[in-house]
Amino acid sequence: MAGFSYSNNEHLVRANIWSTQVKEVLLEELIGMRYVDFLTDFPDGDTINIPSIGQMETLDFAEGQAIRYTGMDTGNFTFTVNKYKSSATFITEKMKQDSFYMNRLVSSFVPKMSRAIAKAMEVDMLATGNIGQTASSLNTINGGNHRFVGSGVVGGLAAISPKDFALAKFALAKANVPMTNLIAIVDPSVGYQLETLTNLVNVSNNIHWEGVIATGLSTGTRFVKNVYGFDVYESQNLPQGITETINGQTVTTNGVANCFFSAAPDVLPIIGSVRQAPKVDSEYNKDLQREEYVTTARYDFKLFRPENFVTVLTDATAVA
């Protein structure tokens, strides 16, 4: 009796089956733009000047003496838009005709190009404070250090400790920064260090850390609890690969610049301008027989209030 079995009908079985689904790469959440003071009075040109004025001084006065008149210190902050970014791709006519995934592929071009531009802006924004400070220096303002290496040690590498949060808060306070909306943006290795510190688990430093064993410290990119008043966010996009020695303390090769500041709206440390929001252009290239897609943007960022920015350097591999 004749029948069907795999051994004599192998040609009727598809050796490879392709799914209708397409696997997408997991993407990190972008958080930096919410902490930028974007300029609104920048109608034309690529450079804007922002004047600054200092404080008045008080002098002793005695009856019968002439009052002394003094002026105020003034300055000028110059901001220039230098960054011009593009993201572009194409699909050939043959690929459009033959690919089973053509519609899915083409529909992803614009969102993915916009995401690429947004990621570039995030990386540039988070690098702004680090670039604006002097490397290998404590960047001292009013007696508070605004750049230093983390005081913790993991396997001989520089790591974060609760003391560093206190030092960052002290530096901001000495610079008269409002102690409101305090934000720390840290590398995931720092988040790990905070979640595994013994003194945090035992709640020996701050009574508000009760319950961290049950809930953990982080949900998504935001910590459920704050450390010495700082709400702590994790980011994959902080400046990496830093080698630096400050006041005898060193990070080598894998240094990352964690940042601390107040996000109070009137004292945001970084200003920015988007001269051209991400703009999409597309056209058909008849010579190369392909559809081309281009997204461009023009923007920049600069450290505006160095007194409201603290960098703590740690080693991104200090995880144990």
Low-confidence ranges of the chain (pLDDT < 70): 1-28, 198-225
pLDDT at 320: 79
User: At 166, phi and psi to the nearest 5?
Assistant: -65, -40
Q: How many angstroms separate the CA atoms of 188 and 235, rounded?
A: 7
pLDDT at 223: 53
Spatial contact of 146 and 138, defined as CB atoms under 8 Å apart: yes
pTM of the model: 0.85
Coil vs helix vs strand at 250 = strand
The one-character DSSP state at 211 is T
Give per-residue burial for 78-94: e unless 16+ CB within 10 Å, then b: ebebeeebebebebeee
pLDDT at 224: 40
pLDDT at 209: 40
pLDDT at 26: 61
User: Average per-residue pLDDT in the chain?
Assistant: 86
pLDDT at 192: 87
